[in-house]
Structure 1
Amino acid sequence: MSLPEEDLTCPICYDIFTDPVLLSCSHSFCRSCLKRCWETGLRECSVCRKRASKASPPTNLALRNVCEALLQARRTSAVVEEKMNCNVHGEKLKLFCLVDKQPICVVCQTSKLHKSHDCSPIDEAVLDCKEELALSLKNLHHKEDSLKRIHMTSADMFKYIKSQSLETQRRIKGHFEQLHQDLYREESARIAAVKKEEDEKIAGMKDKMKELSAEVLSLTETISVIQEQLNEDDLILLKNFKATQDREKSIALGSDNMSGILIDVTKHLCNLEYKVWEKMLDHIDYTPVTLDPNTAHPCIILSDDLTSLHYSKEHSCCPDNTERFHISAEVVGMAALGSGSHHWVVETGSNQDWLLGVASSSVSRNSEVSARPENGFWTLCFRDGEFRAMTSPPTAVKPTRVPKQVKVQLDYDKGTVSFFDPADDALIHAFTHTFTETLLPYFYTQSSHPLKIIPEKVLVTMLRQ
């Protein structure tokens, strides 16, 4: 229980005790006050006149602690009172400037600095600012969760990049085993390139994870600051509000764009044999389209040479990277097609459920959309024994026979995507459109029977002068 202030007052100086001492009669005095009294007279109590038994009475520790606590409370109150007053005019802070986001006095409101600004009473401003800070805190927690999720995804990328590198090296070796021993140096150079890219990708991921860790730390510190501000006195919260809010707004969520983070498998495997044709004496096959495994849905299985695909009910273990199709069983070729004419032939064989054609480079890969022109797709569909051109709505087409191969031909400049039966070059269907962005070869299937891109023969002709 706290004592009344008069019980904490020295009977001699009538002020709060300073270093109080306790006499045998149970009366207390400031040590310095008692010393002055005893220097001018008898050594007795100034209240009851009872003679003191000791020349140096003991300190009243309990009383001293209570007095020091009272003085500290007074100092704190004075500081708080000072903070509640305007630094410029000395008036009590009763208003909050909604423009400058700081507490002001009534004199400030009429000054040129705030005259045209909207203001609100302190009590209303405290509620509004607390509500706004609570929303900021919620947003920061959301950003923190997002950063942690990105951090976990980034950690998973390490293992996949390593396995990708090993698998790519295995495939490269498989290709080079078919070549003459004279190509050994070429093989070694390409494996070195994969390892170098692996090191670069992993180094990039380490930098990304360091950056994410730093952002998580900064975010945690800002959350701690806001939580401390919410526990501060109202005026202190308002004084620091703008700085606290600016700090929260300055924190930008780390980018979750993982585009290009995986090893560019196609760079090492695309048309590998064709790229070394100058070292070969015989003709080699050339595949006009190479599938990009970094875009394949987890249910799409690609062949080692990236020219064939089929559907599997079991998901493959692959990361959730930006380029990958996440909803439907799709994959695209790695080469973006722009101006000029392009074609490739796909062997459909026994596959009874497929879509072939082209897709815009910017098509959505994380949502379910129909493969139609308005969504950036120009495709031919074969399902339930029927052909349909995927227009809006789909158009039924009836070729004279069910082809085992389908030729896709794009003339970008003329704005046409055509589908033919390569056996007799009969047209199945043609789209007409004015293209405004690059296109990618597009494939979809939910069949375990493969779709295979047919290689083309390359004829090397030597010109002699």
Structure 2
Amino acid sequence: MAEPGAVAGLEEELTCPICLGIYSNPVSLGCGHSFCKACVQEARSHRPSPRGPFTCPLCSAWADPAMELQPNVQLRSIVQKFLEAPARQQEQEREGQREEEGASLGQRDGVILCDFCLQEPQPAAKTCLSCEASLCEAHLSKHSTKSPLKDHVLMEPCSAHLLAERRCPQHGKLLECYCKTDSVCICVLCCIVSSHRKHKITTLEEAFGQAQSVLPETLATVKEHKAALNQSIANLLKQEEEVKAKESLLRDQLETLFKEICLQLDNKKREVLKALSDYKEQQLSQIKMEVQKHKEEKDAASCDIQELEALRDQKDLLLFIKSFAAIQARKRKPLTNKDGIELPTPPIILDKLTTDATLRLFKQFLSDMQSLFEVPPVQEHLTSSMPLGLKFGYSANVVSASSRGLLHFGVSNPSDAIQHVKSNQSFSRGCHFWEVDTSNASCWKLGIINPNFECYLQMSHDSLHVFLGQTMITAKGFSTALKVVRVELDCRRNTLSFYNVSVEDGDAAESLRLLETVSIPSDYPAYATFGVLDGSLKLL
């Protein structure tokens, strides 16, 4: 049996220089070198010109491209005997076993194996960054004893992937420096020839020390951030539960609302249909009574006809006169030329005009319902950041209040009976309200204004008046002085409402009493207006 070393040497002589495998169907070129036939054909196919010259892959000797490739019969015979040799087969079996054992050992618990163990790879003790190889204890001792290798950098065993991460992807050198400007690890060449050459560079050791010094502070910051995130998540989860609860409650309320609407609609339907049915019964009863009356009169007329026909044969003058006079004296009401009788007016008049009006009102109802279910815009409150009396008079020029900043008011017309100012803040959409303390004024007005119209509530001599332009909408006596007035502008519905607000005892919602709601033109923007003749107003 051939020795394993001799087999390895023979295998090297029988290896194709192109594919690095045992010759398969070997052929020889004119220079004497042999290759696999398929490898030579593949090399010839990659020459620049299909008809151009061809050179040997080993010695670059010229070869005739038209020449047929000559099989090397003797070499092919040697290869065949080599492949059939028992030693070769045993060597292949041992290599396969070693590969399987190495693979299974390497896969077990993620162990890094020694790259220099050939028979049975042992777990690596260190990895050399310079050699890019992992070494077991035995090979590590040999590695450390060689003087040229003593300066190599050793580290804990790591895989080839981690080794590749420790080298610069641009220059292939070890990452030994740290760029503070870009906060990245770089190699020595990066410090000299790349974009980092003008940056602030330090060693990995110095960067490690600096990172260790700020690690506790960074860790505390990250922990605080995590705690804040946990609190935020808890708040969001709580808000999620609140949203679900509100949605469930709102769903129940809507179910109840629509059931009530359907119930009232069904009741109204039954009421209308019953009135229609009663009207029909009334008409039919009256018609039946008239028919019965006419039948009775018809029977009486039939009797009269029979008696009159019998009188034609009566020869006794006295009996004829008596009978004829009795028949003639019977009352017979003349019949009108009308068909039927006069019936009562129907309770429901359902002509085209009525139908269109009903459908129009129903569409308006649906539109109002839709506006109620729409997501309402943010309701802005015109307010003051501090108790600020708005004092007005003929000498007033500018007064200031605030709503998310500073709002300026200026006198609009000094010749008015009641001096008034308007806000620089305008309103064009959404819902808005403001509350004004009027307890220190006896004659005042509050509302909105724009270049085309003005709508306001005015108190004068214990009387309330609501004006839309020059038109008085309402007037009412009000003996008790108003303490607080609330003005609400709804740009969606184009309405302006005035409320009496007197929060003292009890529910605050019950103290909000509507004074008047006015439909205003959809002409925006509008401005808040305040006017006083004597005293002062305070914007709450």
Fold shared, TM-score > 0.5 on shorter chain: no
Please state which structure has a larger fraction of its residues in strand. 2
Between structure 1 and structure 2, the one with the greater Rg is 2
Relative CO higher for 1 or 2, CA cutoff 8 Å, sep ≥ 6?
1
